Structure 1
């Protein structure tokens, strides 16, 4: 069984699950996201966000493939690039940290260590850029609506973060802010990996991602269109 982790780009974006491909929960502020979903094309908005982030900051996500099938992904960025982050009651994110936006391992691949591969790949990438920590907003009531933020299915369960070594830096009954020093992510033990796989797999919105298609456009070509 072959596994590989690649950067999220405008080409590999097409390999996200359909519901994630058209989701702009993190990429836009709450008002703009609602408007895009109601009257616009959220898929185009997501492409525009990734294009801008790649050009200005660099890699903002990883996708893992198993035998050519996309099996999971993680997304991250500086909080300045994530308008939704400012809407949380426990914001702002610390100035020395990147924001863990969202992650997913599809159910058929859960339990195989893919979540660990994704987060460690993210940690290595961020450490090369001089970032020492990653923070996240956890959902202590995963699956429930929130009166201010609405549906929050893209917010990772708080239990996941605490299970894999994140520490709460600002408590909240619904959306605590948590933090992990990146060196910790590179030295997880097997019990932490199990917790990661179990929780990320439970978030999967679909049974399988679509099969990989050969790339037909270059990133530079897309950016120029």
Structure 2
């Protein structure tokens, strides 16, 4: 079964990636050192704060009950690390795509694109007109793994809003993506359809989570 759950504090242990749980975007360096607080506690508090102000800041993807990836979005006012980038937005209400990452087993499956589409779908629910991201070009030095690459974002429809040799800011105009709601659901189904032995039957539940029930093909 494929499932996308809203990011809530209790799901912090299910975040994936080499440095998960990661607080890169939620914190800024202090005298050259990271924040001394426990990353789990920091993320838990951050998710609670963003949820109270805006809503769940992302989704966690599961395949057969196992965490497979996640996407994080939040208004710029809640993304402290943006202050360290020369292309950070001036409007604190700008909705930012913070990161989208999957496990190595899901690399190339299309799951990361589906996660970005689900974030855009959530943004539309909030009546947002656009979604932005600070991303890295190949010239970026010491790029953190949580910083998305420009090439990936351009492939999924983002365009450069403010250019920079290393860290441009990109934007997707959600008003022009008229089929985004249908594409987000269909993308999840297509990804799961590549897994041998299962067939997805996606449905949306009242709580906003997307489920894909599967049946044997044999």
Instruction: Give the equivalent residue in structure 2 for 1:186.
Output: 180
**Out of 132, 137, 160, which is 1:135 matched to?**
132
Q: How does 1:70-89 map to 2 (within 5 A)?
A: 70-89=67-86
Instruction: Give the equivalent residue in structure 2 for 1:218.
Output: none
- Normalised to the residue count of structure 1, the TM-score between the two structures is 0.72
Post-superposition offset of 1:23: 1.6
| Paired residue secondary structure (1:34) | coil
- The 1:7–1:138 alpha-carbon spacing in structure 2 relative to 1, beyond 3 Å, is same
Instruction: Give the equivalent residue in structure 1 for 2:164.
Output: 172
C-alpha distance in structure 1 between counterparts of 2:100 and 2:32, whole Å: 19
Instruction: Give the equivalent residue in structure 2 for 1:110.
Output: 107
Q: Which structure features the higher share of strand residues?
A: 2
Q: Relative contact order: is structure 1 or structure 2 higher (C-alpha 8 Å, sep ≥ 6)?
A: 1
Please give the root-mean-square deviation of Cα atoms over the aligned residues, in Å: 2.6
Structure 1: runs of 5 or more not aligned: 146-150, 198-225
Q: Which structure features the higher share of helix residues?
A: 1
Post-superposition offset of 1:154: 1.4
| Paired residue secondary structure (2:151) | helix
C-alpha distance in structure 1 between counterparts of 2:80 and 2:154, whole Å: 24
- The 1:72–1:22 alpha-carbon spacing in structure 2 relative to 1, beyond 3 Å, is closer
C-alpha distance in structure 2 between counterparts of 1:33 and 1:152, whole Å: 15
- Normalised to the residue count of structure 2, the TM-score between the two structures is 0.74
C-alpha distance in structure 2 between counterparts of 1:182 and 1:32, whole Å: 39
Contact 1:93 1:135 in 2 (8 A): no
Instruction: Give the equivalent residue in structure 1 for 2:96.
Output: 99
C-alpha distance in structure 2 between counterparts of 1:116 and 1:29, whole Å: 28
Contact 2:75 2:93 in 1 (8 A): no
TM superposition outliers: structure 1 runs of 4+ over 2 Å:
17-22, 29-35, 93-97, 110-113, 141-144, 182-185
Instruction: Give the equivalent residue in structure 1 for 2:146.
Output: 154
Contact 2:16 2:102 in 1 (8 A): no
C-alpha distance in structure 2 between counterparts of 1:51 and 1:89, whole Å: 28
Post-superposition offset of 1:155: 0.7
Post-superposition offset of 1:18: 6.2
- The 1:43–1:32 alpha-carbon spacing in structure 2 relative to 1, beyond 3 Å, is farther
Post-superposition offset of 1:95: 6.1
